[in-house]
Amino acid sequence: MSYTYQTFFQNFYQNFPPDHGFHGENSEDFKLWKSDTRKALASLLGMHRLEQAAAGFSPAVPQILEESEEKGYKRYKLSLETLPQVNMPFYMLVPDSATSTAPCKAMITIPAHGANKDSVAGVLTTPAVRRKLQETPKENYGEEFVKKGYVVFCPDPPGYGERLERTASEDKAFLDQPESDSISSSCKNLTMTAEALGMSFAGLVLWDMMALVDYIETLDFVDMARLGCCGFSGGGLYTMWLAAMDDRIQLAVISGYLHGYYDSILETHLCTCNFVPGLWNHYDVCDIASLIAPRPLFFENGRSDILNGPRGIEDPVRQYEKVKQVYEVFQKEELVQHGIFDGPHMWYGLGYEFVDKHL
């Protein structure tokens, strides 16, 4: 006899699976589905509530907080106001080759849980970041892209890095939870508060990332026709949402986040930022990712990633095949790829060549 809800939830999901994926036959069918799906997702994400909050709001010009010369590029730390009294710090890494007469391709590089803008940019600001990059040295993918000649933007999403919320008094009093360090995140508290106000954590992230794209559009040394986005794990989740909902993103690399809701998230119960009220009634991960078609899209998964779920790599492969079917509608199968490596949950970096080729 079981006293938990796990089996109930699994049976419910199987009996009432997502029912709004793409089932059309041509590009015109896809355009109609894409328009309807984006409207539905914007509603589920609570974007209308954020639009209410931003009514009459005009963000100030981002402030440059720090500036440093690095080998082959300049690093700027800026702060962008995305909502009234909400500011997002980010690094902008500008290769020495970037000029207004020769604008560069660019990448937005979003950190995973247990990381922040500093680790992605390779800025050794704190002991936690130094330990992070010693343990997972490949996660400085922002720094790697600027060395390859890209203008790079490394933001702290809501609740990350310098945007950590204060540790809740309940957590300190009853859970004996210590104060967070620089690579912790505040997804739980932000998710609960946002949902109670008719918003969602994913909506907060999407809003901020789109505000960053708005700023990037003002830069004459960036070629907006060659703007991509990438991220690992939670950063892959946010990359998926941004590229799915904003056509200004011309290419996406999603690392460690091609997992179905049933196999992975329902089974392993990932961070609260994965959950959007009502989402599973209508869409799976592959449906959201399909909105990126036919723009270049690269996925990577580790074969031994525990987040793949009980069937291992089988579920990411199944999700990929569903996304690929949408690209086949456009006869653009070469623009979507899935790299699988023998390893655990990590940024492996299989997508660099793909980005160089297609951006």
Q: Which residues contact 159 (CB under 8 A, 6 or more apart)?
A: 165, 185, 186, 187, 189, 190, 201
Residues 60 and 78: beta-carbon distance below 8 Å = no
Q: In what order do the strands lie in the sheet with 86-95?
A: 63-70, 73-83, 86-95, 151-155, 104-110, 222-232, 251-255, 297-302, 336-341
Would you say residue 134 has pLDDT above 80? yes
Pair of tokens at residue 107: 């990448």
Band of residue 269 on the pLDDT scale cut at 50, 70, 90: low
Q: Is the peptide bond before 316 cis (omega within 30 degrees of 0)?
A: no
pLDDT given for residue 353 in this prediction = 98
User: Mean pLDDT, to the nearest integer, of 83-91?
Assistant: 97
User: Around Cβ 86, how many Cβ atoms within 10 Å?
Assistant: 18
* Domain segments of the chain as ranges: 27-358
User: Mean pLDDT, to the nearest integer, of 41-45?
Assistant: 98
Band of residue 184 on the pLDDT scale cut at 50, 70, 90: confident
Listing DSSP states for 138-205 in one string gives: GG-HHHHHHHTT-EEEEE--TTBGGGPPPPPHHHHHHS-PPPP-TT-B-HHHHHHHHHHTT--HHHHH
The CATH topology of domain 27-358 is: Rossmann fold (3.40.50)
Would you say residue 99 has pLDDT above 60? yes
Q: What is this structure's pTM?
A: 0.95
Pairing of strands 151-155, 251-255: unpaired
Average pLDDT of the chain is 94
pLDDT given for residue 102 in this prediction = 87
User: Mean pLDDT, to the nearest integer, of 117-135?
Assistant: 95
Band of residue 172 on the pLDDT scale cut at 50, 70, 90: low
pLDDT given for residue 6 in this prediction = 87
User: Mean pLDDT, to the nearest integer, of 3-21?
Assistant: 92
Band of residue 173 on the pLDDT scale cut at 50, 70, 90: low
Band of residue 273 on the pLDDT scale cut at 50, 70, 90: confident
pLDDT given for residue 182 in this prediction = 79
